[in-house]
Structure 1
């Protein structure tokens, strides 16, 4: 991954404020020697530090599924969309008490290099239209992500 001159933490703080999300986090792929696991590296609006200890493999959890498929995920109402017996598969939802969330892949070239998760602690707060608009404004690669977030007042 290329070195970025911008500070990711500052950018996700701005992103959370701009779109009024309760929580924003970015998971990044760790190097090959770590078997390409994903870890939540940056968070804004977090209620604790548990996100730092979450390690996901491709196909597991929200970040793992987005990483594996390269497709965004929208969960409008956690209580309706995920069975309570399956919640343990989504540690970020439990740790941050999220009720409505979306996650998008962040591409670098032809590879997913990260996942951006946005959410609310209130059910049905993030609808399909709002999530689509967010994705459109955001873009999907790191450069677009940083450029658009930084460009906002």
Structure 2
């Protein structure tokens, strides 16, 4: 990520939000932290507050951490039925932004996940599998300096 050109991620996520009519779009990027890496939400559009800036996720924790660890897109069509209420603390972006239907895709650089792009709605069942697939197709293979989607996808 150090060599990536100056890319206007804030402007791009705002365009995505308008184009697909999402309530919320955010970009988490990997940050070095001592001997391990953490993810922090760096850019957001449609945010209700700035709490997202204080969220720090480790690999496997939260939606960004799971996508980072697995390298695969993740879809939660209905937070109320797909996640136990007692487990919501593991998904701070969902709580902070009151998201009810969301998806996230990995962003790759040099065969490693370096970021996670999250899109969502504050209403249940708004992001269906078909709509999430359409978003991924519409996004294309590149997002800034990153390859978008699963590695190994055609």
The structure carrying a bigger strand percent of its residues is 2
Separation in structure 2 between the aligned mates of residue 76 and residue 145 of structure 1, nearest angstrom:
25
104-113 or 133-142, which moves further after superposition?
A: 133-142
Give the unaligned 5+ runs of structure 2: 148-154
**Is residue 57 of structure 2 the alignment partner of residue 80 of structure 1?**
no
48-57 or 23-32, which moves further after superposition?
A: 23-32
**Is residue 105 of structure 2 the alignment partner of residue 104 of structure 1?**
yes
Separation in structure 2 between the aligned mates of residue 56 and residue 8 of structure 1, nearest angstrom:
20
Report the TM-score, using the length of structure 2 for normalisation: 0.89
Secondary structure at the aligned position of 1:122 is classed as coil
Separation in structure 2 between the aligned mates of residue 29 and residue 145 of structure 1, nearest angstrom:
12
Report the TM-score, using the length of structure 1 for normalisation: 0.90
The structure carrying a bigger helix percent of its residues is 1
Give the number of aligned pairs. 146
1:7: Cα distance to partner? 1.1
Q: Which residue matches 1:113?
A: 114
**Post-superposition CA distance 1:9-61 (Å, at most 9, x none):** 11111110111000000000002537210000000000000000000000000
Q: What stretches of structure 1 move > 6 A for 4+ residues in a row? A: none
Separation in structure 2 between the aligned mates of residue 57 and residue 141 of structure 1, nearest angstrom:
25
